[in-house]
């Protein structure tokens, strides 16, 4: 009886070992803590606080006087993205985000929305797989929308005017395990669609989010 129990126990242990070996070969183990290594995918969920600047052209006119700082408040938004690491230092990333800006002073009843869709690269400058400083650059297009007489922060599918604009940004980021922070310069060629004159805008998004 004792011999039979030992035999069954031995066979069970052998079967468990074989199962674990096969599973390990088919599904290689990957630490949840590793956020930058060859073949690693990162899901990014983040929020923005956008500090706006004077526009580089004119606002609602054909003159070249920068008036943006007196017309638009700082904005905010959120986004989601995914990054794929080619090796220990270079990753490719795709992001989609939505940002909201509200007018001030005589433009207080006007709000603007921007939804950039970008692809870009990030390069690790210093650190290990989980804690590191990195630089990045993104480029793509942004769906632009003007919403008159509203203060709603929710993105809408329709407004007073809408168009697509080219978009780009570049900056520095700090990754702390599953948390990251970025500061960047962003540029929109046509922030207020279908208006007279140039209304390109650069602004400074400060981003904080999570890697999964």
Instruction: Find all residues with CB under 8 Å of 166, minimum gap 6, and list them.
Output: 139, 140, 141, 142, 188, 189, 190
103: helix, strand or coil: strand
Per-residue model confidence as pLDDT tens digits over 147-201: 765 555 555 555 667 778 899 999 999 999 899 999 999 998 877 665 555 567 8
Same-domain pairing of 2 and 67: no
Q: Whole domain around residue 182: which residue ranges?
A: 33-211
Instruction: Find all residues with CB under 8 Å of 15, minimum gap 6, and list them.
Output: none
For residue 164, the model assigns a pLDDT of: 85
Helix H or strand E encompassing 84: strand 75-85
Same-domain pairing of 74 and 168: yes
Task: Grade residue 139 by pLDDT with cuts at 50, 70 and 90.
Answer: very high
| Secondary-structure percent of the chain, ordered helix, strand, coil, rounded to 5 | 15, 50, 35
- Counted domains in the chain: 2
Question: pTM of the prediction?
Answer: 0.75
Same-domain pairing of 90 and 10: no
Same-domain pairing of 193 and 114: yes
Instruction: Find all residues with CB under 8 Å of 150, minimum gap 6, and list them.
Output: 109, 111
Residue 106: what are its φ and ψ, rounded to 5°?
Answer: -70, -10
Q: What is the mean pLDDT of residues 101-125?
A: 85
Same-domain pairing of 6 and 76: no
Q: How far apart are CA 131 and CA 126, in angstroms?
A: 9
Helix H or strand E encompassing 14: helix 2-26
Same-domain pairing of 95 and 176: yes
| Higher pLDDT, residue 69 or 119 | 119
Residue 10: what are its φ and ψ, rounded to 5°?
Answer: -65, -40
For residue 31, the model assigns a pLDDT of: 45
Region at 178 (left for phi over 0; alpha for psi -120 to 50; beta for the rest): alpha
Which CATH number fits the domain that encloses residue 37? 2.40.160.20
Highest mean pLDDT of the ranges 19-23, 67-71, 141-145: 141-145
Same-domain pairing of 12 and 85: no
Count other Cβ atoms within 10 Å, centred on residue 151.
Answer: 12
Structure tokens at 100: 């909201």
Same-domain pairing of 24 and 89: no
Q: What is the mean pLDDT of residues 140-152?
A: 75
Same-domain pairing of 74 and 157: yes
Same-domain pairing of 44 and 20: no
Q: What is the mean pLDDT of residues 117-127?
A: 96
pLDDT at 12 over 90: no
For residue 183, the model assigns a pLDDT of: 96
Same-domain pairing of 24 and 100: no
Same-domain pairing of 13 and 117: no
């Amino acid at each position: 009886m004792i011999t039979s129990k030992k035999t069954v126990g031995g066979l069970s242990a052998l079967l468990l070992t074989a199962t674990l070996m096969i599973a390990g070969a088919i599904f290689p183990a990957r630490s949840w803590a590793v956020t930058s290594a060859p073949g690693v995918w990162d899901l990014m969920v983040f929020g923005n606080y956008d500090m706006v600047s004077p526009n580089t052209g004119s606002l609602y006119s054909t003159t070249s006087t920068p008036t943006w700082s007196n017309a638009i408040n700082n904005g905010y938004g959120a986004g989601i993205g995914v990054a794929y690491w080619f090796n220990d230092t270079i990753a490719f990333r795709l992001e989609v985000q939505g940002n909201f800006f509200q007018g001030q002073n005589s433009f207080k009843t006007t709000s603007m929305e921007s939804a950039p869709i970008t692809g870009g690269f990030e390069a690790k400058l210093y650190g290990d797989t989980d804690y590191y400083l990195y630089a990045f650059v993104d480029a793509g297009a942004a769906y632009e929308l003007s919403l008159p007489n509203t203060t709603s922060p929710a993105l809408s599918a329709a407004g007073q005017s809408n168009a697509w604009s080219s978009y780009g940004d570049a900056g520095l980021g700090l990754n702390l395990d599953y948390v990251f922070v970025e500061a960047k310069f962003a540029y929109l060629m046509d922030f207020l669609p279908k208006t007279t004159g140039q209304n390109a805008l650069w602004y400074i998004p400060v981003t904080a989010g999570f890697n999964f």
